[in-house]
């Protein structure tokens, strides 16, 4: 499972009313054969935002599918776009969200609602209340990853029996003056592995260096090499494995002297979750990060409940990989 070109984040400046408009037909099709009605309310003169179009479409599709599934007896799925001034944003009172101009997209349903006790789990990878084969629990994890990568925020509001509204806030895009020339060189160096180029660093640099020993498990060689190179430049020692089976034998060779395993989920022979289960038999406290981006990665049901692991949704930037590694090691 590789980072195909398609998954690479290619941000462009977009108008979300257009995005939602173009998606209408697709959502209509998702709703055909159900008693769910689609109501689209377009905001006027929407500010531009910067995100990857196909990725953002995935966000909306996932939210719409969830909304549809929450209304088995029918209802209304409402898609709404509008501008929020900094003051409007502040009025939402979400401490984590800066009071800046944003564009809001809402996906609302009047379905089952989400019980308060599972509310803080829904974005966790593999959390699902759907039957086996119906849901993988990766939809919202992916949504969250994409929204974060776009510099945005997502917040659900729900009442059992009444319905749910997911609000996605994306910062208003203000065109910037020309970017540093060296960005081009970085772009082409990492295009090879299909990862996302770093956004030009505006904020103060974080310390993402470390000295830990990492076992990187990924069947796609180009991706593995890209990740290895990146982690090595941050000071980590990286061992590579092209499969779960290879990872087990490398672990044995190294006599368990590995601080963290970063593993793809879908791989031939032995998938990531099985690898985690095997390794934790011998090394119960071994830190583990899954890298994944697909709803097809339906698997984790064979993971023991409450097994702890980090998760990095694809596509991700090299910097995000470093951040998650650091966080998981520190955590």
Ligand X SMILES: Nc1ncnc2c1ncn2[C@@H]1O[C@H](COP(=O)(O)OP(=O)(O)OP(=O)(O)O)[C@@H](O)[C@H]1O
Contact with ligand X (CB under 6 A) among 8, 51, 110, 164 = 164
Structure tokens at 274: 């099985």
Please tell me the count of residues contacting ligand X according to CB under 6 A: 22
**What is the nearest approach in angstroms of Mg ion to the Cβ of residue 308?**
23
Q: Residues 240 to 279: which contact ligand X by CB under 6 A?
A: none
Q: Which of 75, 139, 194, 313 is the binder for ligand X (CB under 6 A)? A: 139
Residue 110 lies near ligand X (rule: CB under 6 A): no
Least separation in angstroms between CB 78 and Mg ion: 18
Q: State yes or no: residue 11 binds Mg ion (CB under 5 A).
A: no
Q: What is the pairing mode between strands 153-159 and 163-171?
A: antiparallel
Of 31, 64, 102, 138, which lies in the binding site for ligand X, with binding defined by CB under 6 A?
138
Which residues touch 234 (CB under 8 Å, ≥6 apart)? Answer: 208, 209, 210, 322
Applying CB under 6 A, among 130, 162, 257, 301 the residue interacting with ligand X is 130
Q: Which helix (H) or strand (E) holds 2?
A: none
Contacting residue, 11, 111, 125, 139, with Mg ion by CB under 5 A: 139
Question: Which of these ranges, 53-61, 72-80, 136-144, 247-255, lies near Mg ion under the rule CB under 5 A?
Answer: 136-144
Is residue 313 involved in binding Mg ion (CB under 5 A)? no
Picked from Mg ion, ligand X, none, the partner binding residue 111 (CB below 5 to 8 A depending on kind) is ligand X
Question: Which of 144, 122, 60, 120 lies closest to 320 in space, CA to CA?
Answer: 144
Determine which residue in the list 14, 19, 59, 70 makes contact with ligand X, applying CB under 6 A. 70
Structure tokens at 298: 């339906």
Structure tokens at 46: 């929407």
Which of helix, strand or coil describes residue 291? strand
Give start and end residues of each alpha helix (H) in the chain: 16-31, 53-69, 86-91, 116-119, 139-149, 183-191, 221-233, 244-253, 272-282, 318-330
Q: Does 67 bind ligand X (CB under 6 A)?
A: yes
CB of residue 3 to ligand X, shortest distance in Å? 19
Backbone phi, psi, residue 142, to 5°:
-70, -45
Site size toward Mg ion, by CB under 5 A: 2
- Cβ proximity to ligand X: between 141 and 195 the closer is 141
Q: Rule CB under 6 A: is residue 140 a binding residue for ligand X?
A: yes
Max Cα-Cα span within the chain: 62
C-alpha neighbours within 13 Å on the C-beta side of residue 213: 10
Phi/psi-derived region of residue 148, left when phi > 0, alpha when psi is between -120 and 50, beta in every other case? alpha
Cβ closest to ligand X, residue 138 vs residue 247: 138
Q: Which does 315 bind (CB under 5 to 8 A by kind): ligand X, Mg ion, none?
A: none
Measured distance CA(180)–CA(189) in Å, rounded: 16
Q: Which residues bind ligand X (CB under 6 A)?
A: 62, 66-67, 70, 109, 111-112, 114, 122, 127-130, 135-141, 164, 295
- Give the footprint of Mg ion on this chain (CB under 5 A): 66, 139
């Amino acid at each position: 499972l590789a980072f195909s070109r398609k998954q690479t984040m290619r941000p462009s400046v977009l108008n979300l009313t257009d995005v939602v408009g173009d998606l209408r037909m697709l959502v209509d099709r998702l709703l055909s054969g159900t008693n769910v009605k689609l109501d689209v309310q377009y905001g006027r003169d929407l500010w531009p935002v910067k995100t990857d179009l196909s990725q953002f479409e995935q966000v909306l599709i996932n939210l719409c599918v969830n909304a549809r599934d929450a209304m088995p007896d029918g209802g209304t799925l409402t898609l709404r776009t509008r501008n929020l001034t900094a003051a409007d944003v502040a009025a939402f009172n979400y401490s984590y969200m800066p009071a800046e101009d944003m564009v809001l997209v809402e996906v609302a349903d009047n379905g089952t609602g989400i019980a308060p006790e599972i509310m803080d789990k829904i974005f966790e990878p593999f959390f699902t209340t759907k039957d086996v084969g119906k849901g993988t629990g990766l939809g919202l994890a992916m949504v969250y990853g994409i929204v974060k990568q776009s510099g945005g925020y997502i917040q659900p509001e729900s009442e059992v029996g009444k319905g749910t509204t997911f609000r996605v806030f994306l910062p208003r895009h203000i065109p910037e003056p020309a970017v540093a020339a060296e960005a081009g060189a970085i772009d082409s160096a990492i295009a090879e592995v299909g990862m996302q180029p770093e956004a030009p660093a505006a904020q103060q640099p974080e310390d993402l260096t470390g000295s830990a020993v990492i076992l990187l498990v990924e069947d796609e060689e180009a991706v593995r090499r890209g990740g290895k190179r990146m982690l090595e430049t941050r000071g980590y020692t990286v061992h590579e494995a092209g499969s779960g089976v290879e990872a087990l034998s490398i672990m044995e060779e190294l006599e368990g002297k590995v601080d963290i395993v970063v593993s793809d989920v879908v791989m031939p022979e032995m998938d990531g979750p099985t690898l985690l289960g095997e390794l934790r038999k011998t090394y119960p406290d071994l830190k583990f990060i899954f890298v994944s981006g697909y709803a097809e990665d339906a698997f984790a049901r064979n993971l023991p409940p409450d097994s702890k692991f980090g998760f990095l949704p694809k596509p991700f930037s090299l910097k995000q990989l470093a951040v998650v590694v650091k966080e998981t090691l520190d955590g």
